[in-house]
Structure 1
Amino acid sequence: MRSFSLFLFLALAASLQLSAQGKYEWKEASSGGYTYRYVTGDPMQARYYKLKNGLTVILSVNKKEPRIQTLIGVRAGSNSDPKDHTGLAHYLEHLLFKGTAQYGSLDWSKEKPYLEQIEGLYDTYNKTTDAAQRKGIYRQIDSVSGLAAKYAIANEYDKMMSNMGAQGTNAHTWVEETVYQEDIPSNSIDKFLTVQAERFRDPQFRIFHTELEAVYEEKNRGLDNDGRKMYEKMLETLFPTHNYGQQSTIGTVEHLKNPSLKAIRQFYNEYYVPNNMAIIFAGDFDPDYVIKRVDEKFSYMQPKPVQEYKAPVEAPITAPIVKEVFGPDAENVNLAFRMPGALDTKNSVILTVISQVLSNGKAGLLDLNLNKQQKVLGAGVSIMPWKDYTVFALSGRAKQGQSLDEVKDLLLGQLEILRKGEFDETLITAIVNNFKLYEIQGLESNGNRANTLMDAFIKHRGDNWLYDVAYIDDMSKVTKQQIVDFANTWLNNNYVLLYKRKGEDKNIVKVDKPPITPVEVNRDAQSEFLQTVAAMPATAVKPQWLDYSKDIQKGKAGNADMLYVQNSDNSLFRLYYHFDMGAWNNKKLPFAAQYLQYLGTDKYSSEEISKQFYNIACSFNISAGSEETTVSISGLQENFDKAVALFEHLLHNCKADDEVLAGFKNRILKQRADNKLNKGQILNGLRSYATYGAKNPFNNQLSNQELEAVTAAELVNILHDLPNYKHTVIYYGPQSLADASAAVKQMHTLPASFKAYPPAQKFEKSVQTANKVFFADYDMVQAEVSWVRNGNVYDPANTAVVNLFNNYFGGGMGSIVFQTIRESKALAYSTYAYYATPNKKNDRYGVMAYVGSQADKVNDAIAGMNELLNTLPQSEKAFETARSSMKKDIETQRITQDGIIFSYLSARKLGLDTDIRKSVYESIDKLKFDDLKKLHQQNISGKPYSYCIVASEERVKPEDLKKYGEVQKVTLEEIFGY
């Protein structure tokens, strides 16, 4: 079964089906009046139901916490879009959040005629080519949309879900699927099913033109994303006739400009039918109760024949096809192969094993021969197995002074090794052992369970769940000869070669901003349907608080303090050495931590150490942050002693290697150069600059000159000396405290007394006395704008009101900020604002706001956010929803496993010795809107802000920004510190 990374969608070989019989078999059972099928030996214990109307229902019970991950999936994505309306499935996904005749409307009888008029206007607009006439029609659309919006209740779906305590409200569309997701409390099943049944019964496409603008923004953001452009170019080239390559999920610019509500409605009627859909629950529930309620709520759906996409057969690729993509981000190279699809189960399992032989993060050919030996900046493998074809790709990034062609040759060289079979066959056994580990880890997550089951359904393999369950057993039967034969058949010169080069993309055609009049959002309005759902009874869920004195056992491992929580669920362990020092104590510490992964000892090479860890399904990592450093060792408890002993051997006996250090420095310098090409990194650095000043945590780096001067002996000495500093040992696993303590004491060498930490560098947050604009130039279509303001010193008494304020103001799709900026004014695809709580006492709160918009809307976007920062809109209904959501989140939250220990450590940093959630929960009902207003007035409204803006000087002129404050153009060297 596939309970590991969802990116590795897996299928099983048909030739292995007989081997699955016996240990794994389909069985049938009845319970609660319903018959279901299940697979013997399935760790998920998934029940497969098929209702009379063809609706598939899949249930997997996990009692770990009182929550349920739900997915509602439709086997229709961009593959199914009409040729003349690409992006339609994605449009529809957005519109399924807009409500029905029963909710989302103040008065459906009055709203309906306007929506019908808008639909007709879009139909006319779609068929009109004259530019002047189109503008006139769009003015009509905008005008009528404003009238229709007076009867619309924006985000009422999100309000209902928030009110019942749902989290992660979202959806996605891909080539073969559209999936709607909610994480709900276990006591909200009836409410959830009532809302979902209505949602899919009668969707209404209201507030369409502002949502359309959000999709425009999403498209334009993609034009600034070099990775997305590479992805689309890869598919376009691999699939010259198949819809995989000819119809992007978000659609073409031309089709985005010419939407058809009639075509969207037709798509819904054709594909959103029960025999083409599945409902999946994974979590804490009674399956007999759930299936009965699903049947009652969704029996109205009527099945229809579904016209599936008939895939053309692509002509074989007989020689490399070379393509280039240009953009401002870092360069890289990809080799993409078109492989048999997931429905061709004969080869799917072999291809999956091949992907792991090439790259598993530790001991694959790319891992050891390229990454570990620092021959490239980074290399890896990815798989996208769709029904008709699978995309198999190798990617690589060049180190300093290296060409992309050299990277390409190195990648091809690893394929040649694979074809010749020059790898150890025991690697297959190690891959299987690690997949057993991933399976155990995956069972802990409701989201992983649900997504794995949904993936099987989408790929028409729901009936093949038996082979998903038997997957690891069958994978172990793959032989080296099968791998070699497959590689020689499928991995030759039949690839697409893609170069991502730095440079201007002259083919960008953005979706122009249409004139949009802000529409009503009717924040305080509520439909009768919402009120009915809210009034439905729900069994109370009692919150559970941590008692750090009881939930954590304390002991000693030598002279180190030890914190312990037992794992009573499975056979996994996690061991940590936690230090209260980091880069602020020693700038070289993070480099030493990274350097270790390339070092060997007097007994083992670096490659041998990686192999040993992979063979025992264990791993280690050293994470050096600003003020903390954490060593982690994890894996199967049966290999605890081997893993800890191996890490201790490496840490204490690693040898300085000047040649390795030279390669390491080369890669660091190239990564630094690449960081300066990444707009996300630039914005993060600009925020830090605005928060702390010119000297800040983000640019607290060794200069390039200082880095070049670092010696191998220095870094190795830092590593050897690390255990001599005071640290806490943390253990989560099946062993008893006494046994774990004794084992660590025996293997973890400690000094007689700990050394004092080096003095830490201090960073003080700036005090803003006047508005100021910090501007960084970057070649892109969009503009990224952040507001930063530092507030007062942390006070735990403020926690409840701060959390409630964030829930109400800018914490999600039902928040004031989202409703105003996106739903009403269509100014951005992504926006948020919150009052950030520090993570340590004596630190200060901070205001953080963000809008990502088209450059030609940046002034409107800034004005829109400034209005909200200065004037807090009041909505008692939204306030009650925020309060209800916050209570339910706390009631159903369960902090478990080693999360208990890290909760304790976080509380201790804030000067707390109890679980603060208890006092927060007890305060929620006492809070009034006036409390939020007071927080807003005292800390946010009318205050000076630092504006952080990353945009192109050709599209956003720095001189135009002077009206917001003094403008300072910040160089990349000032931002990054190198």
Structure 2
Amino acid sequence: MKLKLTFILLLLGSYASAQTQYLWKTATAGGYTYKYVTNDPTHSRFYTLKNGLTVILSPTNKQPRIQAYIAVKAGSKTDPADHTGLAHYLEHMMFKGTDKFGSLNWAKEKPLLDKIDDLYEQYNSTKDETKRKEIYKEIDKTSGEAAKFAIANEYDKMMAAMGGQGSNAFTSFEQTVYTEDIPASAVDKFLTMQAERFRAPVLRIFHTELEAVYEEKNRGLDNDGRKAQEAMFEALFPNNNYGKQTTIGTIEHLKNPSLKAIRKYYYDYYVPNNMGIILAGDFNPDVMIKKVAANFNYMAPKTVPAYTFKPEVPITAPIQRDVYGPNPENLTIAFRFPGASTKDARMLSLVGSILTNGKAGLFDLDLTKKQKLLGASAFPYVLKDYSVLMLRGTPVKGQSLDDVKALMLGEIAKLKKGDFAADLIPSIVNNLKKSTIEQNESYGQRAGNLMSDFTSGIDWRTDLANINELSKVTVAQVVAFANKYLTDNNFVIVYKHQGEDKNILKVEKPPITPVEVNAGEQSAYVKKINAMPANPVQPLFLNYDKDIQRAKAGPLDVLSVQNKDNSIFRLYYRFDMGSWNNKLLPVAAAYIQFLGTDKQTSEDISKAFYKLASTFSISAQPENTNISIGGLQENFGATVTLFENLLANCQPDEKALASYKARLKKVRENQKLNKGAIMQGLVNYALYGPSNPFNNVLTDEEIDNLKAQDLVDILHSLANYKHTVLYYGPQTASEAGITLAKLHKTPASFTPNPEAKKFVRAKLTENQVLFADYDMVQAEINWVRNEDVYDAAKTPEAELLNNYFGSGISSIVFQNIRESKALAYSTYAYYSQASKKGDNDSFTAYVGTQADKMNEAIKAMNDLLTTMPESPQGMLAAKDNIRKSIETERITQDDILFNYLGAKRMGLDYDIRKNTFAAVEKLTLADVTAFHNAQLKGKPYTYCIVASEKRVTDDDLKKYGALTKPGLKAIFGY
């Protein structure tokens, strides 16, 4: 095996050699000097402009698009102590425009915005509640007057019009990052827009956006995971702002914002020497750096306020925190480590993989595979000042959280003694090499890695060299490291209990008068940007006959796309049967992970896969089942043989089944405590009625009666059913077919698939309400209805409706419900076409809002479903977004195969994007309005509502239709 591992390392090229040198070098091209790291597979260049702005460029021409990050090294850690949440506020406001865009008349708007500034300062300094309400009333009134001159979401519409995708931003402890995925042809428009955006942001439409942040806070109050993590950080970091304040801020500070303080934060931290522009994608870096410099040279450097903190004192006794909420109970143990740029932080990542890597870690083998815990993981949380090793465990039925603690700390004790396989470290390194190859294929992941290193202060050379460094680590070094940092007493432990949180506070709803959004207007500045030339890009549509190679592996069809870039392969066996054919199939598919053969234990098999840097999974969906096998082509034979032997020769294990039954029941119990799962069940109930795909599961009695031999028989016979082979890898289809025919045994004739259960879509003639009680601050509402049978001719209208009306920040739904009325943090509406010929389309709209806003939110969505506002400019932006997204979309690798199978299920033998691209240009606002009116207006809906009965009354619910409250057993089927 040692020789084999050496052979693998040699085949991995620049990633593989322990002698690879990663050195910083300096070069000059196109008049600009940059730094780069030798042997960097991403060919990234690091520039520093004269004003201190960092520009990182990573060119790759796989797709004609660019992932862009504009990152600021400031986040909640640098929030003023009396204005927590401020960095996050500012992030929201950076989408509102400047004096040049986002405004119809800046001269008239500015005095009103100045008045709002002053009113908020009065509001914050006033303690008398009566006077505060009077001031707020004036804020609301003045905000309405100012909004008449504002153009809401003009930035988002501009980005959509240029073909942008994923326009968003995020704030964390020490970073605020603005993200865009744009066509490479639109880079001039993009850079012009961004340079203006960061020049002088205007804090307009503030009080409605503030309410959206309140909604985000309420979502956090309903999120047990977030509460547990905040409690953990508070205990770990009493001196650092990691623990002293949260990213979203306190309720008191949320309710008392200062626009002047927000503006000061912008001037202090949004300076070029504290910012980075990270671009990865299809461009010439010599040309790109000139464009970036030309647009951002105006920014002036400034000394950035230094963040200082008192170092944390060692933890000498476990610090316990208790958190309560409706979600299932779990336990978190956290140890403190040095910060991101240290060697110890890099060692921490290795320790995390020794504990959890998905296959062969201590937690994986000893706790998860042996089913001692329902779930167990260990992962590093790396920050600039400190890092954290987090251990998280979920108990099985009848287990206490202290039992979970003992089991996880028991594995830490093994780590500290070096009680793990000697070849685990080389296996981790080998898997890291494969992961790096896969990540570098994606321009998005490249940009994300570069951005993360920039904001956390990690040297890119050090990051690249990390694999070499870890490959030299010995077991003795790991043991010494673990004993240094993981003592019996130096941790924080958070008990997440299932129960009522009696300390929860709700952000109360303020009175807000809906403001104008001027959806159909456009500023002169944006018109100028729209008029800028862009290089045309020709769309590339799939030709299934040319883009897919076809061959045979014995009697099986092989569909293949060749990987000409590296040694990664992905192999799939695709069966046209699933849980609707046999409810035991998904149970057997999950059971296999706990089984061994007559020659290998389950643990042996997991270790063998991990050693080969290979993976496998079996996924049984309602109507199909996929076996997925992946790894390095040089290990193709060994990997496939290992899996085939497991599938054909796995042995029934009654002890493992008994644990699995208990595990399955506990998972099902936990699902009933999950509001997302409850809503999913209600939506299925709405679409199909009481008997539906969601509750098409085993009863408790059927689980009790499961036999190990029955499940193993299903696995042994799986290859006897007809299936298709999908292959993405270095071989041709013919070569893969010949290779696979020797490894994958098939019968002389295939067994017919079991008859599938049929589910009939519900026919709705009048409104109805399905309600489920859940202890939470918010109310979540889905509007659900079945539509007509799938018709490919409807695709262009459906996509344009979604883009214009209900999907994304620039949509009508978002502008009206969030921007104008401040009724939700998240809201959308989506017409979903069926995934199979003969099935029905469906429509879903969603609002997540405070319970006391539920009636207002429902009315707002119903108004939009009845009458769709018309915005010619919004329609043009939506059309441009669809066409430019299709122009620059490249379906590659194994996605080609799944796109083909998806089209085939819908009765198509062509790439439907070609029809959409041609048709959208000809569609008008009148066409989309007609589609909206035909499909949505005046139609009956099922309102699926999850909320607390303590906050929502039956009388309210009955306003919208006949009320049904299906119990959890009716929803889940058990």
TM-score of Structure 1 vs Structure 2, range by shorter chain: over 0.9
Q: Deviations over 1:5-29 (max 9, x none)?
A: xxxxxxxxxxxxxx99971111111
From 20, 38, 60, the equivalent of 1:40 is: 38
Q: Name the counterpart of 1:828.
A: 824
Q: Name the counterpart of 1:291.
A: 289
Equivalences for 1:336-485 in 2 at 5 Å?
336-343=334-341, 345-461=342-458, 464-485=459-480
Q: Distance in 1 between matches of 2:724 and 2:765?
A: 42
Q: Distance in 1 between matches of 2:548 and 2:676?
A: 39
- For the Cα contact (< 8 Å) 1:311–1:388, is it kept in 2? no
From 588, 594, 606, the equivalent of 2:584 is: 588
- For the Cα contact (< 8 Å) 2:520–2:874, is it kept in 1? yes
From 610, 618, 624, the equivalent of 2:614 is: 618
- For the Cα contact (< 8 Å) 1:20–1:470, is it kept in 2? no
Matched AA of 1:511 = V
TM-superposed deviation, 1:342 = 1.4
From 108, 121, 128, the equivalent of 1:130 is: 128
Which secondary structure state, in structure 2, belongs to the residue aligned with residue 970 of structure 1? coil
Q: Name the counterpart of 1:6.
A: none
Q: Name the counterpart of 1:851.
A: 847
Q: Deviations over 1:331-364 (max 9, x none)?
A: 0011111111113x13122211111111111000
- For the Cα contact (< 8 Å) 1:683–1:949, is it kept in 2? yes
TM-superposed deviation, 1:834 = 1.3
From 122, 140, 143, the equivalent of 1:142 is: 140
Equivalences for 1:1-40 in 2 at 5 Å?
23-40=21-38
Q: Distance in 2 between matches of 1:919 and 1:99?
A: 36
Q: Distance in 1 between matches of 2:68 and 2:497?
A: 41
Q: Name the counterpart of 1:770.
A: 766
TM-superposed deviation, 1:408 = 0.7
Q: Name the counterpart of 1:728.
A: 724
- For the Cα contact (< 8 Å) 1:20–1:467, is it kept in 2? no
Q: Name the counterpart of 1:523.
A: 519
Which secondary structure state, in structure 2, belongs to the residue aligned with residue 767 of structure 1? coil
Which secondary structure state, in structure 2, belongs to the residue aligned with residue 964 of structure 1? coil
Matched AA of 1:449 = R
Q: Please, what TM-score do these two structures have when normalized by structure 1?
A: 0.97
- For the Cα contact (< 8 Å) 1:380–1:394, is it kept in 2? yes
Matched AA of 1:82 = P
Equivalences for 1:789-868 in 2 at 5 Å?
789-868=785-864
- For the Cα contact (< 8 Å) 1:570–1:734, is it kept in 2? yes
Q: Name the counterpart of 2:7.
A: none
From 332, 338, 341, the equivalent of 1:334 is: 332
- For the Cα contact (< 8 Å) 1:362–1:610, is it kept in 2? yes
Q: Distance in 1 between matches of 2:217 and 2:868?
A: 31
TM-superposed deviation, 1:311 = 2.2
- For the Cα contact (< 8 Å) 1:80–1:308, is it kept in 2? no
TM-superposed deviation, 1:958 = 2.1
Q: Name the counterpart of 1:602.
A: 598
Are 2:564 and 1:543 equivalent residues in the alignment?
no
TM-superposed deviation, 1:460 = 2.2
Q: Which runs of 5+ in 2 are unaligned?
A: 1-16
TM-superposed deviation, 1:419 = 0.8
Equivalences for 1:693-708 in 2 at 5 Å?
693-708=689-704
From 203, 209, 212, the equivalent of 2:210 is: 212
- Over 3 Å counting, the alpha-carbon distance change for 1:20 and 1:605 in structure 2 is closer
TM-superposed deviation, 1:847 = 1.3
Which secondary structure state, in structure 1, belongs to the residue aligned with residue 690 of structure 2? coil
Which secondary structure state, in structure 2, belongs to the residue aligned with residue 112 of structure 1? helix
- For the Cα contact (< 8 Å) 2:558–2:733, is it kept in 1? no
Matched AA of 1:504 = E
Matched AA of 2:242 = Y
Residue identity over aligned pairs, in percent, reads 59
Q: Deviations over 1:613-665 (max 9, x none)?
A: 00010010000000010000001111100000000000000000110000001
Which secondary structure state, in structure 2, belongs to the residue aligned with residue 533 of structure 1? helix
Q: Name the counterpart of 2:906.
A: 910
Q: Name the counterpart of 1:4.
A: none
Deviation beyond 3 Å, 4+ runs, structure 1:
19-22
Q: Name the counterpart of 1:486.
A: 481
Q: Name the counterpart of 1:9.
A: none
TM-superposed deviation, 1:554 = 1.1
Q: Deviations over 1:471-494 (max 9, x none)?
A: 111111111111101111110120
Which secondary structure state, in structure 2, belongs to the residue aligned with residue 70 of structure 1? strand
Q: Name the counterpart of 1:14.
A: none
TM-superposed deviation, 1:453 = 0.6
Which secondary structure state, in structure 2, belongs to the residue aligned with residue 109 of structure 1? helix
Which secondary structure state, in structure 2, belongs to the residue aligned with residue 64 of structure 1? coil
Q: Name the counterpart of 1:300.
A: 298
TM-superposed deviation, 1:566 = 0.4
Q: Name the counterpart of 1:164.
A: 162
Matched AA of 1:833 = A
- For the Cα contact (< 8 Å) 2:835–2:906, is it kept in 1? yes
Q: Deviations over 1:82-139 (max 9, x none)?
A: 0000000000000000000000000000000000000100011111111111100000
Which secondary structure state, in structure 2, belongs to the residue aligned with residue 698 of structure 1? helix
Q: Name the counterpart of 2:865.
A: 869
Which secondary structure state, in structure 1, belongs to the residue aligned with residue 354 of structure 2? helix
Matched AA of 1:177 = Q
Which secondary structure state, in structure 1, belongs to the residue aligned with residue 956 of structure 2? helix
TM-superposed deviation, 1:811 = 1.0
* Greater mean alpha carbon deviation, residues 586-595 or residues 421-430: 421-430
Q: Name the counterpart of 2:12.
A: none
Which secondary structure state, in structure 2, belongs to the residue aligned with residue 900 of structure 1? helix
Matched AA of 2:508 = D
Matched AA of 1:27 = K
- For the Cα contact (< 8 Å) 1:775–1:958, is it kept in 2? no
From 239, 242, 253, the equivalent of 2:240 is: 242
Q: Deviations over 1:564-603 (max 9, x none)?
A: 1100111100000000100000000000000000000011
From 928, 933, 936, the equivalent of 1:937 is: 933
* Greater mean alpha carbon deviation, residues 210-219 or residues 486-495: 486-495
Matched AA of 2:643 = F
- For the Cα contact (< 8 Å) 1:118–1:141, is it kept in 2? yes
TM-superposed deviation, 1:815 = 0.2
Q: Distance in 2 between matches of 1:739 and 1:296?
A: 51
Kindly report the root-mean-square deviation, in angstroms, between the aligned alpha carbons of the 2 structures. Answer: 0.9
Which secondary structure state, in structure 2, belongs to the residue aligned with residue 470 of structure 1? helix
Q: Distance in 2 between matches of 1:340 and 1:37?
A: 27
Matched AA of 1:806 = N
Matched AA of 1:106 = L
Which secondary structure state, in structure 1, belongs to the residue aligned with residue 693 of structure 2? coil
From 260, 263, 271, the equivalent of 1:262 is: 260
Q: Distance in 1 between matches of 2:682 and 2:604?
A: 42
Matched AA of 1:602 = D
Which secondary structure state, in structure 2, belongs to the residue aligned with residue 433 of structure 1? helix
Q: Deviations over 1:127-165 (max 9, x none)?
A: 111111110000000000000000000000001100100
Q: Distance in 2 between matches of 1:975 and 1:785?
A: 16
Q: Distance in 2 between matches of 1:36 and 1:323?
A: 48
- Over 3 Å counting, the alpha-carbon distance change for 1:22 and 1:889 in structure 2 is closer
Which secondary structure state, in structure 1, belongs to the residue aligned with residue 248 of structure 2? coil
Which secondary structure state, in structure 2, belongs to the residue aligned with residue 325 of structure 1? strand
- For the Cα contact (< 8 Å) 2:337–2:344, is it kept in 1? no
Matched AA of 2:309 = A
TM-superposed deviation, 1:65 = 0.5
